[in-house]
Structure 1
Amino acid sequence: MTEKLVIIDTDCGIDDAQALMMALAAPNVQILGLTCVHGNTSVENVCQNVLRVLSVCEREGIPVFRGAAGPLIGASNPSSDHFGGDGLGDVIEDRDPQWEKKIQREHAASAMIRLVSENQKQVSLVALGPLTNLALAVRLDPGFPQKLRDLYIMGGNMEGKGNVTLCSEFNFAMDPESAYVVLEEYLCPTYIASWEYACRNPLTWEFFEELINQDFAAARFMKLITSKCWAYSKEAMKTKRDVYFGPGFVSYDSYAMAACIDSSVVTDSITCPVRVELQGALGRGMMVLDRINALKKNHCVTVMTTCDLVKFGRLLMESLRQPCKR
């Protein structure tokens, strides 16, 4: 199997951690760098969370870069408490006081540009958080997107059903301007795992129990960080997500990562132009699918709709059978 070069941009909460471990366990993936962005928690916490995941998986050699601490314009939005104040369920007590020394000095956006320029048309960029670092990268180097092999995004919504505002999904709502810039200016092949895609392709809670109770270091870590988090409570999620989509365990960011690792995980999709709404009082941050070509855009993206849950579940199971030394 041909090795894929990957950069992962993350606002490392619990589902990001799961997605990172999926990439770390994949034999066909070489991670060139991990770039950190605000989102689920502060960018400082994100950096520490990424370092923690790498430590659990014994992969500390992968460089980690600190990026944007807030959106492209305007004041910073308060971070979500969906995964706890620190992004990993508020259960980790032994924080590393030396963590800043382990972060690269280079800014995340500059690191993206450099790593991709050194490996043109070979790097897949996987964006799991707000798209601020990606917007900064294209502002610093307008030719950056055309140097990418492809782009995978977890974010956006297809039907105006929001999870933090009435009509928008969290990652896009946290920085609508950056989401707009990326979906207008990144003309490389682009694949989007929307909120609806994740929610409509859930796994069972019985699968989740089997997943976190494997006798491996990574599984024990995942069991710890989900232990007190309401987002991983079967009962709590009945009132939060089932209003629209029905019951089940959903590891949101893992859907985008799985598509990057194995494209056959995605069994159906929509290909069309998209645009992010910036002006609407209710719709700001909402992703609009242009299925009638009203926008007259030349660039289309692939919006995932259906997932092979057997293959997806297998990737999740393998992701927690770590450490996987290299």
Structure 2
Amino acid sequence: MYAAGLLNYSEHPMKVIIDTDAGVDDAVALFLALAAHKDPKCPFEIIGITCVLGNTGVDNVCRNVFTVLDSTGVSNIPVFRGADTPLVQPFIRGESPFFGVDGFGGVHSLPNIPVVKQERTLEKESAPLALVRLAREFQGELTVVALGPCTNLGIAINIDPNFVKNVKELYIMGGNSHGVGNIRPCVEFNFFVDPESAFVVLSAAWNQKIVMVPLETCKLAMSSMEWRKQVLGTIKSSCSISLKKGLLQRFEKDYGSWCSCDAVCMAVLLKPSIISKSSTNYCTVELQGAHTRGQVVVDHPQKTGKPHNVTIIEQIQLAELERMLLSTFHPSTFI
């Protein structure tokens, strides 16, 4: 059977901040990260979780993060409330958000599986200020994983020009590499919510190329609904709150298969050997287009002459991702 000790994470020591708009998608990624955080054999430490608008309002995001932490018994990770509005233009949420109004489809507990709720409070410091402070404190050591819109990061960059130099590496789940969208025909959701922040982030002079997991890559990493329901969905553990069957209806209706895009990004960070194809390129974000605002512009023909600033993850090994998910959600993982 699968168990956490079999995950074989990267041996590279990491201090990590996860910036999230915690809906169900993010929850799966958080469980992957928390399994590594709790594994004594894995040199992976989550030093903070920062919350941002996206799948739902930021107050719901904070509550969802606490729910995930309660489900795993992790109590030593500070949580920071971040931006609830984009940098420039307001984000108007549709009437039927993909993961429900609260981001968790109204699911915050599971029958017959005890979840120990702890007295948790948000840190007084705002998420952007925490990002700036922690990047300075762990200069050259910090990895930031952005699973939602880039608003907190954009603010942090504007607060401290040295922020990007203090961060070791940045991973982003968002954007697109070939003009495939989900909230608009050619725009991915996270970049659509706050295009200006995404533009600021991609334009900054990071120490290393940004690692981006775009929407197209996630669509290549979709598991069958049969596997999702009959294999992963049969696991009963406290962290399986994000596997609640009712939340599958939208995936089945829209795609006929299942994927946690944010989990793909987290798996790439945790286990780089899962990557089967990647490339580097110069990328920016379109801000003006009537139909393309928020789309990632990739210099495929190399016309700009600008240096490559992004490593695009193009394909991962689906079987290995599924193995990691099974190991993470196994009841033994969070004992």
TM-score when normalising by structure 1: 0.90
> What is the 5 A alignment of 1:118-197?
118-189=137-208, 190-197=210-217
What's the offset of the Cα at 1:140?
0.5
What's the offset of the Cα at 1:65?
0.2
* Aligned-partner Cα distance in 2 for 1:318–1:324: 7
- Within the candidate set 83, 86, 90, 2:106 is matched to 90
Is 1:60 the counterpart of 2:75? The answer is yes
* Aligned-partner Cα distance in 2 for 1:285–1:132: 13
Confirm or deny: 8 A CA contact 1:51 1:60 kept in the other structure.
Answer: no
Q: Which runs of 5+ in 2 are unaligned?
A: 1-10, 111-116
Confirm or deny: 8 A CA contact 1:23 1:319 kept in the other structure.
Answer: no
* Aligned-partner Cα distance in 1 for 2:332–2:64: 17
What's the offset of the Cα at 1:249?
1.6
In the other structure, the counterpart of 1:318 is 327
* Aligned-partner Cα distance in 1 for 2:235–2:51: 29
In the other structure, the counterpart of 1:250 is 259
In the other structure, the counterpart of 1:303 is 312
In the other structure, the counterpart of 1:244 is none
CA RMSD of aligned residues (A): 2.1
> What is the 5 A alignment of 1:1-326?
1-26=11-36, 27=39, 28=42, 29-78=44-93, 81-92=97-108, 102-189=121-208, 190-209=210-229, 210-219=231-240, 221-224=241-244, 226-232=245-251, 234=252, 236-237=253-254, 241=255, 247-322=256-331, 324=333
The percent of aligned pairs where both chains have the same amino acid is 38
Deviations 1:71-98 (A, max 9, x none): 001223326610011000123379xxx9
Confirm or deny: 8 A CA contact 1:57 1:322 kept in the other structure.
Answer: no
Is the alpha carbon distance of 1:309 and 1:141 closer, same or farther for their aligned partners in structure 2, counting shifts above 3 Å? same
Deviations 1:20-69 (A, max 9, x none): 00000123221000000000000000000000000000012210000000
Report which stretch shifted further, 304-313 or 272-281: 304-313
SS class of match (2:33): helix
What's the offset of the Cα at 1:291?
2.3
Deviations 1:113-147 (A, max 9, x none): 11121111111110000000000000001111121
- The one-letter amino acid of 2:289's match is G
Confirm or deny: 8 A CA contact 1:158 1:194 kept in the other structure.
Answer: yes
Is the alpha carbon distance of 1:229 and 1:86 closer, same or farther for their aligned partners in structure 2, counting shifts above 3 Å? farther
Is the alpha carbon distance of 1:112 and 1:150 closer, same or farther for their aligned partners in structure 2, counting shifts above 3 Å? same
Confirm or deny: 8 A CA contact 2:283 2:297 kept in the other structure.
Answer: yes
Confirm or deny: 8 A CA contact 1:71 1:132 kept in the other structure.
Answer: yes
SS class of match (1:31): strand
Confirm or deny: 8 A CA contact 2:99 2:247 kept in the other structure.
Answer: no
Q: Which runs of 5+ in 1 are unaligned?
A: 242-246
In the other structure, the counterpart of 2:4 is none
SS class of match (1:125): strand
- The one-letter amino acid of 1:133's match is N
- The one-letter amino acid of 2:87's match is L
* Aligned-partner Cα distance in 1 for 2:249–2:280: 35
The number of residue pairs the alignment matches comes to 311
Confirm or deny: 8 A CA contact 1:84 1:229 kept in the other structure.
Answer: no
Confirm or deny: 8 A CA contact 1:266 1:306 kept in the other structure.
Answer: yes
TM-score when normalising by structure 2: 0.87
